[in-house]
Amino acid sequence: MTGNPHQLPDASSPTVSVMHRNFFAVVPESWDDFLRTAEVIDEAGIDRVVMSDHVVMGDHLDEYAKPEAGGIAGGRQPTGPDGVWLDPLATLAVIAGRTRRVRLATAILLAALRRPAVLAKHLATLDSLSGGRLDIGVGIGWQREEYEAAGLDYRSRGRLLDHSLDVVTTLWRDTPASFADDRLAFDGIYLVPKPAQAGGVPIWVSGRVNDRVLDRIVRFGAGWIPWGDDAADPGPGVRRIREALASVGRDPSTLGVVGALRVERDDDSRVDVARTMAPVESMAANGITDFRLQMSIPSSHERALDELSMLADAFRARVGGKPTGR
């Protein structure tokens, strides 16, 4: 393994995030409520708003339940093949213009489906215009049809992702940039603007900690998004990653790690803050730095603001600090 020669961001500060679902069973009559909810997430003091990614869908959604295909045992897709999936980067760009401090994140972006130079430009532009608020979670995905529709080899999706990240980070780092591998070569290329964040947009790598994913994290990753069994017990994976980072001279204490924080409710469906926050200390001891709230955001914006603000304040009281960007 080789370390990334440019300085990667420190993703280790404790943060609280929430998934804002950018998928729907049918097209809504209006997008106003969806966009207003993103503004509420910002107002409430949540650190990250997170979105997922599907470019196209095929008919074989049962593949998502197969770990050998890149899915998760027992997993079920939240829509049918004709479900509505907003592009996360375009959506986050709109949200960036309607918010002031919340970080903008994907979990995950199927980065290999986009041409690397175009992806580098898109991400650098979004990071610049948002004031350096972008985080990109990437992974290989599970759906063969998405790679076929993009004219790519599904069986090579891991190598395609590594290639994409190598090109993207080279273009962010070097001026002019040169690159050569078995897929692409260029020399004397300028990509401007660079991302606003020193070292480029933080890349969070998703996956089980096998050798390939470990190498990807060491080379490119500011953070790790555990998957499958590793999500249930991330501790061994965190230790293995930290050892690998130290072996190439990277500071293992800067590693960010995502963990699910389930929002508990009482018999009246009100948020039980004490029960929700009870696991925070033990999760932090296990290496978690980004605590991702597992909840359905209320459709009432007033109630959503109350609940999210209460959760953000309670989290910060546990870990100290202030919302990202304030």
pLDDT over 60 (residue 325): no
Q: Could you tell me which residue, 1 or 182, shows the higher pLDDT?
A: 182
The pLDDT assigned to 8 comes to: 76
* Residue 324 binned pLDDT confidence (cut-offs 50, 70, 90): low
Span 21-38+49-256: which CATH code?
Answer: 3.20.20.30
Backbone angles phi, psi at 73, to 5 degrees: -55, 125
Cα distance between residue 295 and residue 311, in whole Å: 11
Q: Residue 195: which of 275, 256, 122 has the closest Cα?
A: 122
Residues in a beta bridge with 134: 104
Whether pTM > 0.85 for this model: the answer is yes
Percent of the chain with pLDDT over 90: 90
The pLDDT assigned to 219 comes to: 97
258's enclosing H/E stretch is strand 256-262
For 76-117, how does the pLDDT look when each residue is reduced to its tens digit (9 = 90+)? Answer: 899 999 999 999 999 999 999 999 999 999 999 999 999 999
The pLDDT assigned to 3 comes to: 37
Exposed / middle / buried, residue 196 (Cβ in 10 Å: 0-12, 13-18, 19+): middle
Cα distance between residue 262 and residue 306, in whole Å: 17
Contact assessment for residue 102 and residue 92, using Cβ atoms and an 8 Å cutoff: no
DSSP annotation of 107 reads E
Q: What is the mean predicted confidence (pLDDT) over 236-242?
A: 97
**Position 121, amino acid:** K
Q: What is the mean predicted confidence (pLDDT) over 135-151?
A: 97
Contact assessment for residue 291 and residue 14, using Cβ atoms and an 8 Å cutoff: yes
Mean pLDDT of the chain: 94
pLDDT over 50 (residue 2): no
pLDDT over 60 (residue 6): no
Cα distance between residue 219 and residue 165, in whole Å: 9
The pLDDT assigned to 69 comes to: 83
DSSP annotation of 9 reads P
**Structure tokens belonging to residue 203:** 């890349």
DSSP 135-196: EEEE---S-HHHHHHTT--GGGHHHHHHHHHHHHHHHHH-SSEEEESSS-EEEEE---SPPS
* Residue 7 binned pLDDT confidence (cut-offs 50, 70, 90): low
**Structure tokens belonging to residue 22:** 């950018």
The pLDDT assigned to 164 comes to: 98
Each residue of 248-278: b (16+ CB within 10 Å) or e?
eebebebbbbbbebebbeeeeeebebeebbe
* Residue 12 binned pLDDT confidence (cut-offs 50, 70, 90): confident
Backbone angles phi, psi at 39, to 5 degrees: -65, -40
pLDDT over 90 (residue 146): yes
**Position 134, amino acid:** L
Q: What is the mean predicted confidence (pLDDT) over 298-302?
A: 96
* Residue 68 binned pLDDT confidence (cut-offs 50, 70, 90): confident
**Structure tokens belonging to residue 198:** 């020193």
Q: What's the half-sphere exposure (Cβ side, CA atoms, 13 Å) at 228?
A: 19
* Residue 235 binned pLDDT confidence (cut-offs 50, 70, 90): very high
Contact assessment for residue 255 and residue 245, using Cβ atoms and an 8 Å cutoff: yes
Q: What's the half-sphere exposure (Cβ side, CA atoms, 13 Å) at 146?
A: 21
